[in-house]
Amino acid sequence: MMWFTFLYVDLIPIGTLLIMIGLMIYYWIDKYNLLRRASVDGNMSGQIVVGALKLLDAVLFWRFAGELIFDIQIR
């Protein structure tokens, strides 16, 4: 986004300042959302963690299977 702004900086000099202000506002809004609104109430159980790890292992197989099916359909 910044490179696009600097492309037009000669035509619209105030654009760089506006983009910097916009990025600062965007940063603080994201920081607020991550720290205040995206909190987990209570603790996660160990079963959720184990299930997520098993799914992570399954991703290796499913990605290969999906690519194989996609390749077969393309050809």
Tokens representing residue 19 in the block: 């983009």
Higher pLDDT, residue 37 or 74: 74
Residue environment code for 5-22, b if the CB has 16+ CB neighbours within 10 A, otherwise e: beeeeeeeeebeeebeee
- How much is the pLDDT for 5? 62
Region for residue 40 given its phi and psi (left: phi exceeds 0; alpha: psi -120 to 50; beta: otherwise):
beta
pLDDT at 45: 79
pLDDT in tens, 26-47: 999 999 988 887 766 777 778 8
Structural tokens at position 64: 């290969």
- Percent of the chain having pLDDT more than 90? 15
The pTM score is 0.41
